[in-house]
Chain A
Amino acid sequence: MARRLAAEVPDPELPFLTLGDLGILRRVEVNLEGAVRVVLTPTYSGCPAVHHMADEVRRTLMAAGFPVVQVDTELSPAWSTDRLGPHAREKLEAMDIAPPPPVDRAPVALTLKCPHCGSLRTGELSHFGATACKSLWRCHECGEPFEHFKALR
């Protein structure tokens, strides 16, 4: 149960995705006294959301009755976009954010499908977007800008 609850905590910057979807939740251990240790891994070294996530996990588990909750972060093995769960890509697309290419494809997409109109005539405006994990693109067909959850490997 502790694992399920921790996995369902939403990401503060992409609230439609959970820590489980993103592959940020690494391990949940419960000892005989009911004390929980949760291990998270950051997407980027400087991800400012990690503290918030740790607080949310702690709050959620304590509200569910676990007396002691410890949240640690671990860098190794390093997080990559290959850790995204099976539903994460669909959820990103549903929110008009172009997902990273699947695991078995080249790490950098030559072109992305516009999440608004589906055109492949798109181009990157900037490698870096509003959060560390996204880049900024524009569709040449419909003219709309869109975000891309960029590949990190």
Chain B
Amino acid sequence: MTAGVAGLWVVDLREVALGLGDDCLVLSHRLAEWTTHAPELEEEMALANLALDLLGQARSLLTLAGEADGRDEDHLAYWRDDRDFHNLLLVEQPNGDFAVTMTRQLLFSTFQELLYRGMAAGTEPRLAAIAAKGVMEARYHVEHARLWVQRLGGGTEESHRRMCRALDLLWPYTRELFEPTESWSRAADQGAVPPLSSLEEPWRHSIESLLADSDLEIPGFPAWQSGGRLGRHSEHLGHLLAEMQHLHRSHPNASW
């Protein structure tokens, strides 16, 4: 193994950047699927804006991840199969209805904002720079998702029912957010990233207080699912990648 900046192994930096970059890329693609289908024009723009921020973060993170073995962002995005993606299971879950999309955003963006805040103060300068930029964007994403969750949860009987369903559906994927890989633990020991256990309390508090204000609660007895960080995905990721990658693979190096 090669030691990089700040005592961090290159292989660990690569793993960490790849996982976070894949979270951004996959969720960005999911949000982009709403384009031309959003419930209103303002929301159409909002979802596209969120997708664009995440795509930008994905580009920076994947560029960093690929430096170690000379693969660029496009190579990482288009030429890996699902088993080589390291994103959380949460972000690959299908859009479902608007309640599912906004719940997924709330759960992920709240996590991402906390994570970026810790990483921005970390010892690895390139990860810190990406996080310092991303945290400002994540804050807007959290705010947007919170407004919608509150409106839907405390809205009509139907919107409330759908919010409960969305929480039941997605909550089982939230434990994985706080399960560190070996690379993550070593990077946290070096102070490059925050220990995931330190994010769980503030994350739960933030979500719980919002749900309490929105006539909603955390579902009981979830059947926990994890494995995304290790390349074990739900069936949904393969379909997403097929759509995202087919043009590039059918016409390698095409430009227009």
Q: Residues of A with Cβ closer than 8 Å to B?
A: 42, 44-48, 74-80, 125-130, 132, 136, 152-153
Q: How far is the CA of A141 from the CA of B57 in the complex (A)?
A: 39
B231 to chain A, nearest CB (A): 25
Chain B residue nearest to A133 in the complex (CB): B49
Query: For residue A136, which residues in chain B have a CB less than 8 angstroms away from its CB?
Result: 42, 45
Q: Which of A48, A78, A132 contacts B133 (CB 8 A)?
A: A78
Chain B residue nearest to A74 in the complex (CB): B129
Query: For residue B125, which residues in chain A have a CB less than 8 angstroms away from its CB?
Result: 76
**Interface 1/0s, chain B 175-209, versus A by CB < 8 A?**
00000000000000000000000000000000000
> B121 contacts the other chain (Cβ, under 8 Å)?
no
Most buried by A among B48, B132, B136, B137: B136
Query: For residue B55, which residues in chain A have a CB less than 8 angstroms away from its CB?
Result: 46
Query: For residue B52, which residues in chain A have a CB less than 8 angstroms away from its CB?
Result: 44, 46, 48, 132
Query: For residue A75, which residues in chain B have a CB less than 8 angstroms away from its CB?
Result: 60, 129-130, 132-133
Whether B54 lies near A46 (C-beta < 8 A) is: yes
Query: For residue B130, which residues in chain A have a CB less than 8 angstroms away from its CB?
Result: 45, 75
Query: For residue A78, which residues in chain B have a CB less than 8 angstroms away from its CB?
Result: 129, 132-133, 136
Q: How far is the CA of A8 from the CA of B249 in the complex (A)?
A: 41
Q: Which of B47-74 contact A (CB under 8 A)?
A: 48-50, 52-57, 59-60
Whether A129 lies near B45 (C-beta < 8 A) is: yes
Query: For residue A46, which residues in chain B have a CB less than 8 angstroms away from its CB?
Result: 52-57, 59
**Interface 1/0s, chain B 126-140, versus A by CB < 8 A?**
001110111011001
Known pairs A45-B56, A46-B54, A129-B49; list 19 more (Cβ under 8 Å).
Answer: A44-B52, A45-B130, A46-B53, A47-B56, A75-B129, A75-B133, A76-B128, A78-B129, A78-B133, A79-B133, A125-B42, A126-B42, A128-B50, A128-B144, A129-B45, A130-B45, A132-B52, A136-B42, A136-B45
> B210 contacts the other chain (Cβ, under 8 Å)?
no
Query: For residue B11, which residues in chain A have a CB less than 8 angstroms away from its CB?
Result: none
> B46 contacts the other chain (Cβ, under 8 Å)?
yes
Whether A128 lies near B46 (C-beta < 8 A) is: yes
Can you give 11 contacting A-B residue pairs, CB < 8 Å? Answer: A42-B133, A45-B130, A46-B55, A46-B56, A46-B57, A78-B129, A78-B132, A128-B50, A128-B144, A136-B45, A153-B136
Chain A residue nearest to B61 in the complex (CB): A45
Whether B42 lies near A45 (C-beta < 8 A) is: no
Whether B132 lies near A76 (C-beta < 8 A) is: yes
B234 to chain A, nearest CB (A): 26
Closest 8 CB pairs of A and B: A46-B56, A45-B56, A76-B129, A126-B42, A128-B49, A128-B46, A46-B52, A75-B129
Query: For residue A48, which residues in chain B have a CB less than 8 angstroms away from its CB?
Result: 52
Q: Which of A45, A77, A80, A128 contacts B57 (CB 8 A)?
A: A45
Q: How far is the CA of A74 from the CA of B43 in the complex (A)?
A: 31
Query: For residue A129, which residues in chain B have a CB less than 8 angstroms away from its CB?
Result: 45, 49
Query: For residue A153, which residues in chain B have a CB less than 8 angstroms away from its CB?
Result: 136
Query: For residue B50, which residues in chain A have a CB less than 8 angstroms away from its CB?
Result: 128
Chain A residue nearest to B57 in the complex (CB): A45
